[in-house]
Amino acid sequence: MRLWWWIKQTTASSPVDTRSTDTQLNYASATITSSFWNAGVEAGLTGNQIMQLAGIFGWDIDFALDIRGGDKFEVLYEEQFVEGEHVGSGEILAASFTNQGETFTAIRAESGKYYDENGRAMRKAFLRSPLSFRYVSSNFNPRRLHPVTGKVKAHRGTDYVAPVGTPIWAAGDGVVQKSGYNKYNGNYVFIRHTSTYITKYLHLTKRYVKTGQRVKQGQTIGTLGGTGRVTGPHLHYEFLVNGVHRNPRTVKLPQSKSLQGREKQEFISLAQSRLEQMQKMGMLWAALGPVLNKS
């Protein structure tokens, strides 16, 4: 279903191509029943946009393990047309995501970065999960058995079950404290982020980083595997705060940076108008959806 909201018309600046490009706003929303991916597809989003959406909220929500039936999202995004022909989906301008009852909102600033409605950066020091949700097989089973012990039991890390070779990302910027192998951990990488935080990634097939190397958030540091003491391939991920193991999905993480001064004021008014647009289109969508679906 498509519902267009025509906003502006711009003329291509190229002297060769004088056809005009229309930028229109489109809206999508869905409530998740089977998986986030399926809900995104059913809402009419492209694969790219679904990944983009997971990227925007990936510092607050673990898309691999924390998505539940009943979670929902809405998205306001641009689409480009040349002479009425759809030529591409553009940026996500605003979005909200409700995960297990908690709602997160993001709006795109002129800079291309995303902030919440109060001007706080969506980007934070740590990703909630160090791999793409697309590979993880257990989206809806929080009581999954532990791949080593076969018991439902909390232990000192989070296990992500995904295919061998799945890229594993550094959760935050840091320095590789140790990249090595032993018979328990298999191939492992430990990253020191500040004097406070260490993240650990175990049972990798391959390691792409060396001890002492500086790494960036989101950089692929290795691939998921089944090396060391495991019964099946998975990533065992640990998050340590001042040497103490914490649940990486619930631990309080460092505050993100906020916009300041005039930049903040300008952003907040942009954010308000974007959120109003999204809300209006949501209401239209709700009212017209049944009609459009019939045609």
In the complex, the residues that contact Zn ion under the rule CB under 5 A are 157, 159, 236
Q: Are residues 204 and 241 in contact, defined by beta-carbon separation less than 8 angstroms?
A: no
Residue recorded with tokens 């540091």: 221
In the complex with Zn ion, which residue's Cβ is closer, 128 or 236? Answer: 236
Nearest distance, CB of residue 102 and Zn ion, angstroms: 26
All residues at 6 or more sequence positions from 65 whose CB lies less than 8 Å from its CB, including other chains: 129, 136, 138, 139, 142, 158, 160, 249
In the complex with Zn ion, which residue's Cβ is closer, 128 or 203? Answer: 203
In the complex with Zn ion, which residue's Cβ is closer, 153 or 252? Answer: 153
Strand partners, 104: 97
Nearest distance, CB of residue 245 and Zn ion, angstroms: 11
In the complex with Zn ion, which residue's Cβ is closer, 157 or 172? Answer: 157
Classified as helix, coil or strand, 32 is coil
Listing from the earlier edge strand, what are the strands of the sheet with 102-108? 5-11, 20-31, 72-82, 85-99, 102-108, 114-115
DSSP secondary structure of 152-173: ---BSBEEE---TT-EEE-SSS
Nearest distance, CB of residue 207 and Zn ion, angstroms: 18
Question: Of all residues in this chain, which one has the CB nearest to Zn ion in the complex?
Answer: 236
Strand partners, 186: 182
Nearest distance, CB of residue 203 and Zn ion, angstroms: 8
Q: With the CA atoms of 270, 271, 276 and 279 taken in that order, what torsion angle do they form, in degrees rounded to the nearest 10?
A: 150
In the complex with Zn ion, which residue's Cβ is closer, 71 or 159? Answer: 159
In the complex with Zn ion, which residue's Cβ is closer, 155 or 280? Answer: 155
Nearest distance, CB of residue 200 and Zn ion, angstroms: 10
In the complex with Zn ion, which residue's Cβ is closer, 1 or 145? Answer: 145
In this structure, the number of other CB atoms found within 10 A of the CB of residue 222 comes to: 23
Residue recorded with tokens 């209006």: 280
Nearest distance, CB of residue 157 and Zn ion, angstroms: 5
Nearest distance, CB of residue 61 and Zn ion, angstroms: 21
CA dist 268 and 260 (Å) reads 11
